[in-house]
Structure formats: C-alpha cells, structure tokens
Structure 1
Amino acid sequence: MRELSELIEVEDPAWPVLGAELRDAAVPVDVLDADPRRGAAALVQTQVTVRSFLGAFLLRSGGAFVDDGWLRVYGSPAADNPRRLPSLARVNGYPPVTVPDWLPQTGLVVAHDVLGGTFVVQGGPADEVGLPGQPGEVVYFAPDSLRWEALGAGYGAWLSWMLAGGTEEFYENLRWPGWRDEVRDLDGDRGLSLHPPLWSAEAHQDLGATSRRVVTMAELLELEREMGAQFDEVDPGPLGAP
C-alpha cells in the first residue's frame, strides 16, 4: 500500500488543469472545499495519485454539484456541507480506518445524477465484476433502461466531457421543461422519483407530464436495483450508498 507522500509528491499533478476546467465549465458548477485531513485519508484508501483527475479531485475537492446539481460528483468529505453531499468514501462504504488491499466489490461509484443514474469506475475484468467495459472505464447504470452501459472513457475524459457541457447531450432525452427549477436546490442526498417511472414507455411519451417526487437517493437506488433484478433476473450489483 502506497503512503500519502507517494500519492501526492508526483510530477505533473492534475489539479491545475482540472481546477481550470471546473472554474471555466460550460455548465454551472458548485465545488465544495475539502477537509484536508480527511481528503488525505480518502486518497490513501483509494490508492490513486494526484496525477490523475480522480486523485486530484478527491484530495482537493469535497465534491461538486454539476449543471445546477443534476449531476453530483463525489470527492473527499467536505469542510462545509450544508447541502449534504455525501463523500466518495461514504458512498462506497469505505472502512473507518485505512485497510490495506480493501477495494469496493465491483468498482468505484464516483457520481450519481438526480434521477438515480450511477457512474462507476469499472474495477476489474467483466466476467469477474459483472460490469461491462474494461478496468478503469466509466460505466453507467441508466435509470431508464435499468442496465449498465460502458461509456468508452476513463474518469478524466468523462469528467472533462461533463464539465464541457456533455450533460446536455447525455441527458437530452431525460429532461423536461423547467427541470432546473426542480433540481437546483435539492440536497446532495436527494433525487427525483418519476411516475410513471423512467423505465416505462408511458414516461417518455411526455416527461413533463410525469409526476415527480423528492426522495432520498438511497430509496431511489434501492428501487432501481430491485426493478433491474426483476427485469433481467440478474442483480445489477451495488449502486452506492449515499
């Protein structure tokens, strides 16, 4: 297990580039300040260096609300967190103290969207972890299909795309008129449950006509996991624990 010094004392740290992308993002972004001590502990347990976007974001950020909070990207525990955005450690069930060789079961949950969509950095060969894609690739559990999708990019490229306005393309068919007013002030541990549900054909006839209810992300993800298992008769696996 690499010590903190090995993870932060590197050439070409990613934060100058990532920090600029966060400041100059094409969509509204609210970045929370990290608690330095707890951020360092999270970095050691995750075992990534700050040369990577993931390591830099984890050490220097308490997470971020992207595109007015539609997307929540998890960082280290925030120093000040009035909107209750969970940390990467909490969402992935990190042990309370650093444990050598501990890793999440199938991959690292790095973000959720307000609809319960889950972004995971794939953690191993597909036949071992039950997720599509290659190790290190970001995969997405889609709330409208209740299936995993490989996105063909690692964490850094995925985050850069989201900050550059990729949310508009990625969610083109999952947004309704006035969604910003419903999402902007939601806490980081809350999401929207739609009726008819997103995985039904009825919902997509007119998303704006669906009824939407604020629920905890834990409730939303539990329902999606249960329904995904019913539809495919295969448990989609952990979706994180906000």
Structure 2
Amino acid sequence: MEESAWTEVSALAAAAPYPVEVLSTDPERASACLTALGITTRSWLGAVVANSGGLVIDHGWLRVLGGGHDGLPEVAADDGRLVVAFDVMGGQFAWLSTEPGARPTVHYFGPEDLAWQDLEFGYGDWLHAMLAGAVTQFYAGLRWPGWEAEVAGVALDEGISAVPPPWTREGKDLSVVSRRPIRLTELVSVQQETARQLGFL
C-alpha cells in the first residue's frame, strides 16, 4: 500500500495556531483529480487532494484546494498555472515553474499589488508554513479589527470585495473601506482584468 503524506498534513492541521477545517470530498471526484494531475498521495499536494475537499484555514481566510467540495473547486490548471488556494480577498496561490526544467514554486497574486510574486517555496514547504502560523504575518496588512467574525460568515464560494480596493492608495486601510461579500469567481476576475488593464499581466 502506498505511503501517504496525509498523516503529516493532518497532524500539522490539528496543531495549527488557528482553526483549520478539513472539508469532506467525494472519493471518486478526488480520485479523478489525482489522476488528472498525475501525482500520488506520497506528495503533500496529492495527500490533500485525495483526503480532503480542501482546508479552510484561519476562520476561512485561506482556502487551500483539495479534491473539491460544495462551493470550493478542486485543484486545477489555469492558464499554465496549477491553482492551489484562494484567500477571502480574492488572492490566488498557484504552483508553477517559471522556466522549463525549473523546480515548481508557489506564487501569489494578491489584491494589494495585482501581480504574481514568487514565494520561492515548494508546495509542501508553503503548506507547512501556512499551517504552522505564517498566515498571520503574511496577511497582516490586509486585516481589520473584527475580521474574524466577518470572514467566518462568508461562504466558501464568496470573497470580500472592498471599495476602494486594496491596490489603491485610498483602499490600503481595510478598516475604513466599504466591504461586502461577492462571488469569489467574480472577485478574482475583476482583479485579473484590472491587472491586465494596468499592464501588470
């Protein structure tokens, strides 16, 4: 029987310094996703896909994709990138190689600067960091007093739209902007289109 990395992942999730919910998934859907990706459960990515519909981290702020769950897609390729997570503000994490033969690393597209940033972590190292407490510091500039309750009330297929948006000078302080939940796909699309219009993509 193939040894799975899920034991490590689930233990780290249980010991995380903030809430981590392991979503259920349909085994057939997860298996199909695993096959499509061409990976095994020996890898952290494969273990998450096979054993969960996703991981909902820190009151729902970060949604790590797995084998798929109601309101949350499975890990899938998008425009040459393997999208592995979304955050509640519409940010995306993708695992990709920047050049042929290079080791894949996790990149982040954030609402603060509308550009892809190479985090220089492989998937396992990135997920380990996020489960071990890195979410707090990573998102320090995007949070506001009372965000926990507000974010916890946002559905998995929704994100928080801020007006003025975080990439503007007026939108940097999320405590004073207008915030409302909208469809996550819409939020991501708006940010991507704005980045293209501004010449960032």
Task: Give the shorter-chain TM-score range.
Answer: over 0.9
Is the 2:39–2:46 contact (alpha carbons within 8 Å) kept by the matching residues of 1? yes
Say which of 74, 89, 92 aligns to 1:118.
92
User: C-alpha displacement at 1:209, in angstroms?
Assistant: 0.6
Is the 1:70–1:113 contact (alpha carbons within 8 Å) kept by the matching residues of 2? yes
Residue identity matched to 1:33: S
- Runs (4+) of structure 1 exceeding 4 A deviation are none
**Secondary structure of 1:173 counterpart:** helix
Q: Paired residues, what number?
A: 201
Q: What is the correspondence of 1:98-137 to structure 2 with a 5 Å cutoff?
A: 104-123=78-97, 125=99, 134-137=102-105
Is the 1:111–1:120 contact (alpha carbons within 8 Å) kept by the matching residues of 2? yes
Q: What is the correspondence of 1:84-233 to structure 2 with a 5 Å cutoff?
A: 84-88=71-75, 92=76, 104-123=78-97, 125=99, 134-204=102-172, 206-232=173-199
Say which of 11, 26, 30 aligns to 1:35.
26
TM-score (norm 1): 0.78
Structure 1 CA distance for aligned equivalents of residues 175 and 166 of structure 2: 12
What are the ranges of 5 or more consecutive residues in structure 2 without an aligned counterpart?
Answer: none
| Superposed CA offset, 1:123-158 (max 9, x none) | 4517xxxxxxx5420000011100110001011111
Say which of 17, 39, 46 aligns to 2:37.
46
Residue identity matched to 1:85: L
**Secondary structure of 1:194 counterpart:** strand
Is the 2:92–2:110 contact (alpha carbons within 8 Å) kept by the matching residues of 1? yes
Structure 1 CA distance for aligned equivalents of residues 16 and 72 of structure 2: 20
User: C-alpha displacement at 1:185, in angstroms?
Assistant: 2.1
User: C-alpha displacement at 1:60, in angstroms?
Assistant: 0.6
Structure 1 CA distance for aligned equivalents of residues 78 and 63 of structure 2: 19
**Residue 46 (structure 2) aligns with:** 55
What are the ranges of 5 or more consecutive residues in structure 1 without an aligned counterpart?
Answer: 1-8, 93-102, 127-133, 237-242
**Secondary structure of 1:214 counterpart:** strand
| Superposed CA offset, 1:54-87 (max 9, x none) | 0000001111210010001111133xx4xx2232
Residue identity matched to 1:146: L
Structure 1 CA distance for aligned equivalents of residues 134 and 96 of structure 2: 20
User: C-alpha displacement at 1:105, in angstroms?
Assistant: 3.4
**Secondary structure of 1:207 counterpart:** coil
**Residue 96 (structure 1) aligns with:** none
Is the 2:33–2:74 contact (alpha carbons within 8 Å) kept by the matching residues of 1? no
